[in-house]
Chain A
Amino acid sequence: DQQVKQNSPSLSVQEGRISILNCDYTNSMFDYFLWYKKYPAEGPTFLISISSIKDKNEDGRFTVFLNKSAKHLSLHIVPSQPGDSAVYFCAAGSDRGSTLGRLYFGRGTQLTVWP
């Protein structure tokens, strides 16, 4: 049973425009969420995170929004650049209970930014 879902396997955006990557989760115990970026032949690298006490976190061109009632989060990249082309993974975890420290990942969304 997949607890973190990224329903769009791919997204194509023109350079300079906004990229919006979406992620849904099912476990209401999750209270910490992360986005990772992965280039081919490399491991995932951490991009940005958000805890459940916030609904927005911004870092430069990257902003993550959290809607707890909808169990939904999104990553906005603006403006998008060709170097942003990569696979983006959403991950979630809980800071309590038996799953302490364990991260659950989505399948990833391939973002392509074209000139």
Chain B
Amino acid sequence: ETGVTQTPRHLVMGMTNKKSLKCEQHLGHNAMYWYKQSAKKPLELMFVYNFKEQTENNSVPSRFSPECPNSSHLFLHLHTLQPEDSALYLCASSPRTSLGEQFFGPGTRLTVL
């Protein structure tokens, strides 16, 4: 499999649940990103990892917890979410965090009930 993959593609969870989103890139990139896209809003950067180290946390609430065990995998752990957290969560990767093209996965459509 090539490119950036994300699982699951769809997720429905209650506010008390704990779930995780997974992202995997097969491009040999060193930087990985989590974005959130809410309805009628621009993509919002959440987290940036460069060589497995978190380099940016864009004031994201602690109920979102990222994990990057290696350069190919990125997780987003979710707990006690709110209905307003319902959105499309996109993972992206790039060769490094300097400017250039970012490659996106297909996203996980999250619904919080």
Contact = CB atoms under 8 A, between A and B. Distances in A.
Interface of B: 4, 6, 31, 40-43, 45, 48, 56, 90, 92, 94, 96-99, 101-107
B103 A46 contact: yes
Interface in A72-115: 89, 93-95, 100-108
B99 A32 contact: yes
Interface of A: 2, 4, 31-32, 34, 36, 41-46, 49, 89, 93-95, 100-108
Contact of A100 (B43, B98, B103): B98
A43 B104 contact: yes
A101 B101 contact: no
Contacts, number: 54
B42 A43 contact: no
Contacts of B41: 107
Nearest to A4: B42
Q: Which 3 A-B pairs have the closest CB atoms?
A: A43-B104, A101-B97, A105-B43
Contact of A34 (B90, B97, B101): B101
A49 B42 contact: no
B7 to A, nearest CB: 13
Contacts of B103: 46
A107 B107 CA distance: 17
B99 A43 contact: no
A49 B101 contact: yes
A105 B42 contact: yes
